[in-house]
Structure 1
């Protein structure tokens, strides 16, 4: 039942309805709700890829230009490609994230650090931007607010994050929870460096982008289709 507060304003009795406070759920409560349906979608992908489920570790490869997120998994016998997902929205353009509010999706190699079962975007998985590389470059350049709170999340809109839609984020949420955050990472590049080299030709990009792109080229090169 909706509660009400009563205020006397002059000679009038004013009723103000107060909505019930939001119910917060734990990660395990959410997993219990969505696990079975997500598993029905995940298992055929792992069977087709010939990877045991759950795997020992996973890596996501994100390419900005194609709005593509690849899932690679290793069950102890080496990484295999499992599936690719469409990124429904990712703001910004080619180039690393530099500051709060620049609307850029970061570029780099990141750990996944937190599962958020109470996200405003249905569910979300936090990316550890800024990582040590990002913080060091920001300190060198005197940038005090490089940004934060970058997520893979549900829904179809985003500013600086990767919006995957609600059903996909449920599957990724279940997968990362099962594998473990410590065994999960994401690499984000302006385009797939396995297709063409990452050349920071834009004049506005900092000089250290060459180092970052070399790291990404080495990282992506570990994941080759069989």
Structure 2
């Protein structure tokens, strides 16, 4: 009897497989922004209403962020408002960081978002919520129950860039909508602290010029 077991990948084998392809596909994007593929910092913005991911780059922390590329979500779950508990199918909202890269995702490749963050945990403690859920990823394919799917070709690009970024735990900001173009905060019936959350997200988004 033979078992067709999928060979485990490493970050290095993923890079070997996709780096050249990604470098070619994003060559013009980097050149337009006068940034080299081998030396940059990155950040990801994700907007739930628009269902779009924006990838920003800069040379170093003293430079301004520049938009490298936009990618559409390939699926969506939940509604406007933060993730509150395990199983609510909500995409989190907040100021997060990249936690680690997963080269062996069930959804091709994935990037772990550090949900729940300190803010999420503080609000949960105040409201006596204990099971906040986790394993929030930006990943390939086109299905989701609370993550951000972007398709296989897109996650290959983002994964390769994430592995090369000089700021290893780069920012991932997830907002209900783009506060840079629509400053109104959604009213979320399930919480009383949305203004606090959205004010902090709005201030962070102001660092990224459209």
Of residues 32-41 and 20-29 in structure 1, the stretch that sits farther from structure 2 once superposed is 20-29
Candidates 151, 157, 173, aligned match of 1:171: 157
Of residues 20-29 and 60-69 in structure 1, the stretch that sits farther from structure 2 once superposed is 20-29
Aligned-pair CA distance for 1:198: 4.1
* Gap runs ≥5 in structure 1: 4-18
Preserved contact between residue 114 and residue 181 of structure 1 (Cα < 8 Å): no
Candidates 37, 41, 44, aligned match of 1:53: 37
The alignment of Structure 1 onto Structure 2 pairs a total of residues equal to 208
Aligned to 1:125: 111
Aligned-pair CA distance for 1:20: 3.8
Preserved contact between residue 110 and residue 155 of structure 2 (Cα < 8 Å): yes
Backbone CA RMSD of aligned residues: 1.4
| Rounded Cα–Cα distance in structure 2 between residues aligned with 1:181 and 1:29 | 21
Aligned-pair CA distance for 1:82: 1.3
Partner of 1:182: helix, strand, or coil? coil
Candidates 192, 198, 215, aligned match of 2:200: 215
Asked which structure has the greater RCO (Cα within 8 Å, sep 6+), the reply is: 2
Preserved contact between residue 77 and residue 146 of structure 2 (Cα < 8 Å): yes
* Gap runs ≥5 in structure 2: none
1:130-165, CA deviations, whole angstroms, 9 ceiling, x for partnerless residues? Answer: 011111111111111111000000001111001000
| Rounded Cα–Cα distance in structure 2 between residues aligned with 1:201 and 1:22 | 46
Aligned to 1:66: 50
Q: 1:55 to 1:95 in 2, by over 3 A?
A: farther
In terms of fraction of residues, the more strand-rich structure is 1
| Rounded Cα–Cα distance in structure 2 between residues aligned with 1:54 and 1:138 | 40
Aligned-pair CA distance for 1:182: 2.4
